[in-house]
Amino acid sequence: MIRLTAEANNPALRGHRASRILRFGPGDRFQVYAIHTRHADVEWWVADTNLTYGDGRPWIIRQEPSFDEAIATVLAHAKK
């Protein structure tokens, strides 16, 4: 799997993406990307593209401090 890197966190950009989006998992169901926060570091979010809000945005199902942590649990559950 390709590993993403993120921009340095910029609290002025909190809520905006700090990396590109990587699709992964069965059928590319999931997306992972970094988000700028008001804290010291970016957070990594995982979205499920099969589950959406009313406006079409995918549900955020994980939020972790590192890329590896963000995808690890999702991949473990997807294999079941």
pLDDT of residue 14: 97
Mean pLDDT confidence for 16-30:
94
Structural contact between residues 47 and 58, judged by C-beta atoms closer than 8 angstroms: yes
Q: Name residues whose C-beta falls within 8 Å of residue 69's C-beta, 6 or more positions apart in sequence.
A: 44
Give the CA-trace dihedral at 69, 6, 59, 63, to 10 degrees.
40
| Tokens at 13, concatenated | 């950009």
In this model, does residue 44 exceed pLDDT 80? yes
Mean pLDDT across 33-62? 95
Encoded amino acid at 12, one letter: A
